[in-house]
Amino acid sequence: MADSSANAGLKLESMKVVEGSYALAHAVMCCSPDVVSAYPITPQTHIVEHLSQFVADGLMPSEFITVDSEFSALSALVGSSVAGARCYSATTSQGLALMFEVLYNVSGMRLPVVMTVANRALSAPLSIWNDHQDSMGVRDSGWIQLYAESVQEAVDLTPIAYKIAEDEDILTPAMVCMDGFILTHVYEPVQLLDLETVNEFLPPYTPKIVLDPKNPKTFGAFVDPSMFTEYRYMQCQAQNKALSAIERADREFSEIFGRSYGGLLEVYGGDDAEVMLIAMGSVSGTIKDTIDELRSDGVKVGLTRIRSFRPFPVEAIRKAVADAHVIAVIEKDVTVGNDGALVSEIKAALYNSKVGIPVIGFAVGLGGRDVTVADVKRAVAKALAAKDGRMDHEFEFLSLREELL
């Protein structure tokens, strides 16, 4: 579950027990997208089915474009977005991989599309279950990436993502990443959003320049080597501006809805943490439970939960881990040929800083394997050993089943 400040905005009597995908689709409906285009793929399918149903039932006045593939889904949104529409899509895994080329077009053309990624492993071997290898694989595509811990947070991040993406100083597409099955298919109490309050938080999308046959323009034009660098630079600047916009959007959301998640990251467990765990997404719930257990045994453990992976909040991370003695990154991906993407970036973030503590990383939950309290305790034990100068591995597969190898 979310932390206490997130829970503060929840009123039990008005919460509903719904499936994560329904709650998410309902949140999308409340954001009033003009155009939805998505291709069904497990475990994202229910989101798209619910949206399709909302449109068919007349609850949602959006244009729902059915397409032959994820490539077409996102391409349809490129055209819709330059025509001035607020656009939404959802995908996962192989579908996200098929969108790869279009992802760069959307971000390079500065189109504020919002997309839910129901995180799932990439084939081969074929797996329909959760990990973060799909969204981490498109890390460099120029999209903002926000990771949700709970269904409620994925719901709340949807209007927040639009608010950040459509900010005229940012104009950058955003992915809301929610763990496939773990969040998309779970039934839990959720405070559903409502159209009126979302409208209060999220102003209508009014782009300054749109595709118009009466005033034709070229969008995403050819650029020769004398200017390409500057276009990428402008995208990086926009992502830098998103750092403060994410914090601001979290505050504004909290003022209206009463729920706050901490902006770029959430720190859990207290200021005195010697072992600082770092993670993203739903595994943070298990980690928090483990921290509560370990704390009652006197082990000073904390969690820095990264909510924004792009932009990567370097300064906020340095601040969050400043007093820790060791860092253990627990991540649901592996960069085959090196270590995990998150641990690499954490180490890079700390290298030119005053923080000079050991950093170790663990790949967990790949292809949907459950991550248990015992797993997290194992990571903490290894972190404590590393703190005392016994670092067996900088990066390893946690709870590897060596009997199968």
Partner 1 sequence: MKLSLGAMAEPGSTRVTKTGAWRTFVPQLDHAACIKCSLCEIYCPEACIHQVDGLFVPDLDYCKGCGVCANECPRKAIEMILEEK
Q: Angle at Cα 404 formed by Cα 398 and Cα 405, nearest 5°?
A: 85
Rg of the Cα trace of the chain?
21
Q: Pick the closer one to partner 1 by CB: 168 or 297.
A: 168
Q: Pick the closer one to partner 1 by CB: 233 or 351.
A: 233
Nearest Cα to Cα of residue 154 among 20, 6, 296, 325 = 20
Closest approach of Cβ 104 to partner 1, in Å? Answer: 12
- The strand pair at 187-190 and 16-19 is best described as antiparallel
Is residue 382 within 8 A of residue 360, CB to CB? The reply is yes
Is residue 322 within 8 A of residue 286, CB to CB? The reply is no
Q: Pick the closer one to partner 1 by CB: 197 or 240.
A: 240
Is residue 169 within 8 A of residue 109, CB to CB? The reply is no
Q: Which residues bind partner 1 (CB under 8 A)?
A: 108-111, 171, 209, 216-223, 227, 230-231, 234
Closest approach of Cβ 96 to partner 1, in Å? Answer: 22
What's the CA gap between 262 and 308, in Å, rounded? 11
Closest approach of Cβ 62 to partner 1, in Å? Answer: 23
Edge-first strand order for the sheet with 275-279 is 265-268, 301-306, 275-279, 326-331, 359-363, 395-397
Is residue 115 within 8 A of residue 90, CB to CB? The reply is yes
Q: Pick the closer one to partner 1 by CB: 231 or 351.
A: 231
Q: Pick the closer one to partner 1 by CB: 234 or 236.
A: 234
Q: Pick the closer one to partner 1 by CB: 168 or 403.
A: 168
Closest approach of Cβ 110 to partner 1, in Å? Answer: 4
Closest approach of Cβ 99 to partner 1, in Å? Answer: 18
What's the CA gap between 206 and 124, in Å, rounded? 42
Q: Pick the closer one to partner 1 by CB: 225 or 356.
A: 225
Closest approach of Cβ 80 to partner 1, in Å? Answer: 15
Closest approach of Cβ 42 to partner 1, in Å? Answer: 33
Is residue 278 within 8 A of residue 342, CB to CB? The reply is yes
